[in-house]
Amino acid sequence: MRTSQRATSGQSPRGHASQRSSWTITSHWLIWVAPIALLSSVRSVVNHGFSVELMESMMAVAKEFFNLPPEEKKRHYSDDPSKKMRLSTSFNVRKETVHNWRDYLRLHCHPLEELVQDWPSDPPSFKEVVSSYCKEVRALGFRLLGMISESLGLEEDYIKNVLGDQEQHMAINCYPACPEPELTYGLPAHTDPNALTILLQDQLVAGLQVLRDGKWIAVNPYPNAFVINIGDQLQALSNGKYRSVWHRAIVNSQKQRMSVASFLCPCNTALISPPEKLTEDGTHAVYRSFTYDEYYKKFWSRNLDQEHCLELFKTDRL
C-alpha cells in the first residue's frame, strides 16, 4: 500500500533526531502539566493513573493487527476520510501528490457501543482491548481538559462544556522500516486540528519530533508515559495562550515504528470562541468564532504542507 516519495520540505527529517527532549515530566504530573503546558504545548505525562498493562496490551494488539497478512488487512482499506473505520496510507491520498511512509487504521470511537461492532475482529482481542483503552483515554483527556481550564482561570468544566459531546478518534500508525528514510517522512510537520491528543509511543523505536524555537527536537519514548499534544481548538479557545504544537514523525531504515494517537475533538456544532474572561481586559480575540464543523472541513480540504489552518481564521486577516 505504501509508495516511497520525496519529502516536500528541503530540510533533512533526521536533523536533531538524537537530541533528547528536556520536557519529560517524570513525577507529579497533576501539579505540573498545566502550568508547564502554558509555556510550550507538548508534554510527556506519567503517574497518570492509567493502567500500564492496558497501555502495553493496546500497543501489542496494534502491532498484531499490522502484522496480519495484507489480504486480511486490505478489506478495511479506504481513502475516504469520512469513513468511521478505515485502513489507509500516507495522510490524505485523494488530495496529496507526495505521499508519506505511513499506514494507519483510523477509528471513530464515540459513542463506542455503536461503532465497535464494525471494528476488525482479527486479532480476536482487538475490539475488547481497544474499547477498554478508548474509555480510559477519554477519562484521562477529560481530567487534562479540567486542569487546562483551571490554569486559564476558568471553571474546571468550562472547556468540556464548550466542546460538547466530544467525538473521539484514534489513529493507529504504523511506519514500516524505510529503505531511504532521508527522502520521506512518516508524517510531515503538522498541528493536530482537534482539541487534545493523547499519544502512546512505541517503547522500542523513536521517531516523533516537535518544533521548538525553530528547531526539531526528538521526543523519545519514555517508560509508561503518554505524550500530550495541544491541538488547534485549544489554541483558539485559549486565545493563543496554549499553542498547538508542530510535530512530525520521521522513519528509519532498520525498524518498523508504531504509535497510537487518540484525538479528543469538539462536537461538530461546538462554537469555538475565546471565553469572556480572556478578553474582558481589552485583549482582542485572535481568531474569529467558528464551529468545529467549519474548521474540520477546511482542514481536510487542504494538504498538510500548507500554512497553518488556524491562520485562515485570524481576526486581523478579516
Q: Applying CB under 5 A, what is the total number of residues that bind Fe ion?
A: 1
Confirm or reject binding of residue 261 to ligand AKG (CB under 6 A): yes
Among positions 141-180, residues that touch ligand AKG (CB under 6 A) are 171, 173
* Smallest gap from residue 292 Cβ to Fe ion (A): 17
Of 43, 192, 194, 266, which lies in the binding site for ligand AKG, with binding defined by CB under 6 A?
A: 192
Of 249, 251, 270, 304, which lies in the binding site for ligand AKG, with binding defined by CB under 6 A?
A: 249
Binding-site partner at residue 210 among ligand AKG, Fe ion, none, CB < 5 to 8 Å by type: none
Of 103, 136, 192, 202, which lies in the binding site for Fe ion, with binding defined by CB under 5 A?
A: 192
Distance between CA 147 and CA 30 in Å, rounded?
A: 8
Q: Residue 59: is it exposed, middle or buried by C-beta count within 10 angstroms (0-12/13-18/19+)?
A: buried
Sheet with 167-175: strands ordered across? 42-45, 226-230, 196-201, 257-265, 167-175, 103-108, 85-89
For residue 294, count other CB atoms closer than 10 A to its CB.
14
Q: How far from the centroid of its chain's Cα atoms is residue 74's Cα?
A: 24
* Smallest gap from residue 156 Cβ to ligand AKG (A): 27
Distance between CA 185 and CA 246 in Å, rounded?
A: 14
Q: Which is closer to ligand AKG, CB of 43 or CB of 247?
A: 247
Backbone region of residue 91 per phi and psi (left: phi > 0; alpha: psi in -120 to 50; beta: other values): alpha
Strand partners, 226: 45, 200
Q: Which is closer to ligand AKG, CB of 21 or CB of 173?
A: 173
* Smallest gap from residue 229 Cβ to Fe ion (A): 6
Q: Which is closer to ligand AKG, CB of 191 or CB of 238?
A: 191
Nearest to 207 by CA among 224, 230, 191, 184: 184
Q: Which is closer to ligand AKG, CB of 50 or CB of 158?
A: 50
Binding-site partner at residue 208 among ligand AKG, Fe ion, none, CB < 5 to 8 Å by type: ligand AKG
Contact, 36 vs 25, CB < 8 A? yes
Of 44, 239, 259, 262, which lies in the binding site for ligand AKG, with binding defined by CB under 6 A?
A: 259
For residue 94, count other CB atoms closer than 10 A to its CB.
9
Confirm or reject binding of residue 191 to ligand AKG (CB under 6 A): no
Name the residues that contact Fe ion, by CB under 5 A.
Answer: 192
Name the residues that contact ligand AKG, by CB under 6 A.
Answer: 171, 173, 187, 192, 199, 201, 208, 247, 249, 259, 261
